[in-house]
Chain A
Amino acid sequence: MNSLAEPHPWEKLLWPLLASGLLLVAWYYSVRWTGTKIFPSPLQVEKGMVELFHKNVLWSDIGSSLRRVAIGFGAATVLGIPMGLTLGWYPALNQVVNPVMQILRPISPIAWIPVAIIFFGVGDNSATFLIFLGAFFPIVVACVNGVSNVPSVYRRAGRNFGLAPTQLLARVVFPAALPQIIVGLRLALGIAWLVVVAAEMVAVDSGLGYLVIDSRNSGKRYDLVVAAMLMIGVIGLALDLGFRRLETIKSIRWGFGNES
């Protein structure tokens, strides 16, 4: 078999499974050989996971986290896309706003926690606000870049067919920028999922982040800590995979260079 051949479907499944298996084995033996009493083994984590499922807290925690992400990310999308399109459309305006944005953008949402608490108190609104902040800037930046990267030949064609500026934005500039906007949204969703966990450790008493910190604080249940961590990873992956499906829609797929 040469190296250019497509791997068989079973190979595509086998190697990742083998790698995860090896990791579990390494984890198991590290716990055994070091004789640690604090860090749990894979089997303990598995029991912890079952316990969480049985206690029904898990579903409500997952629900709370997803709800916060949906609201924060949703608000960032609803405000960020029009703002990004506007800034991309009026470069002069972008020059005014851009410096402020470039300063705010690298500030981790975590650094905003004290400020969020002043504004919104300890509670849901603070957490949602932090998620919003984390998701908002990547969305705006993706839209600005998306709009300014629209090839001039498309805008010209649109103008040539007699489109008014708003029609040009809706029928040419937005669809032409959409692949880049989708990439920005996906990035923002990933950040939102990172931020929700951090926010829940500080500001609220529900959600997966709270589950992690609460499992540690109430009796050093590290089996539950790691179980919750794994749950966070699995849901994050599922969100990303779900979002990736958007990229296969035909009117968007052209922007993702992996076609003939």
Chain B
Amino acid sequence: MSPEEAVTMPTAGTKLRAEHLDMVFTRDGKSTPVLKDINLQVSVGEFICLVGPSGCGKSTLLNTMGGFLSPTSGTVSIDGEVVHGPDSRRIFVFQERGVFPWLTVEGNIGFGLFKLSRSEREQRLAHYVKMVGLQGFEEAYPSELSGGMKQRLEVARALAVDPDMLYMDEPFGALDSITRLTMRGELLRIWQAERKTIVFVTHDIDEAVQLADRVVVMSARPAVIQQIVNIDMPHPRDISSPRYLELRDGILQQIGLAHKI
């Protein structure tokens, strides 16, 4: 292998690499820089949370990684290949608004499985219905489900196509606080079972510290990466331990918020 090739080869274990990402939105002749020189590497199987002030460009970064937006300059590559558009190996999970209201639970989970044989499809369906605890609701329509159930349904639909990455854009933002806590536990359980690489946007710093391997703290617009915090705590995490509080307060300070109201 020549030295030049060695440079372009992804580091072993690197899933996603964002290099010198810049994003400028132009509207009515005015240009607004949103992302500025973002460099980030995500390892295979890693759980990354993006946090930052509201409107800073977290979602823009996520959409760029997911291929739904093209960066003004710079590249996103996954497994060494430059991303040019969305791909069923990498599924976006929205707030529960993303489930299809005209399909049943089974119809939704099976939505992306059109290339599989019937028996394979049914096997996957049964597996993921069970994994997200929707047994008995296979024939139900989303309008008959609670917010938390719809969110689980959307996660199941994403997992059913066996992607190697999940992009999650404030997925639990619309849920009540108790359901949100349960969903975090569920997501961790699923992540530990399936070992997907997850990039998760949230504005909730506690959520980030509870879930992530690393928390990427972004600045206000134009967003740069201000700091990347390693969360060196094994799961399940004790959210009243001194280490947890130390990490959380460190991030709050980074964003410029005191944690006393």
Contact = CB atoms under 8 A, between A and B. Distances in A.
A156 B142 contact: no
Contact of B98 (A154, A159, A252, A253): A154
A157 B161 contact: no
The residue in B68, B90, B142 that gathers the most chain A C-beta atoms within 10 A of its C-beta is B68
Contacts of A171: 111
Contacts of B91: 160-161
Contacts of A260: 143
A121 B6 CA distance: 80
A70 B97 CA distance: 38
Given A161-B91, A175-B102, A178-B102, A151 B97 contact: yes
A161 B102 contact: no
Contact of A153 (B85, B87, B98, B161): B98
| Residue picked from A151, A156, A252, most chain B C-beta under 10 Å | A156
Contacts of A172: 100
Interface in B86-105: 86-88, 90-92, 94, 97-98, 100-103
Contacts of B88: 160-162
12 contacts: A153-B98, A156-B68, A157-B92, A160-B66, A160-B87, A160-B88, A160-B92, A161-B88, A162-B88, A167-B114, A175-B103, A251-B102
Interface residues of B, number: 23
A157 B87 contact: no
B110 to A, nearest CB: 11
B141 interface: yes
B74 interface: no
Interface string B180-201: 0000000000000000000000
A1 B161 CA distance: 55
B143 to A, nearest CB: 5
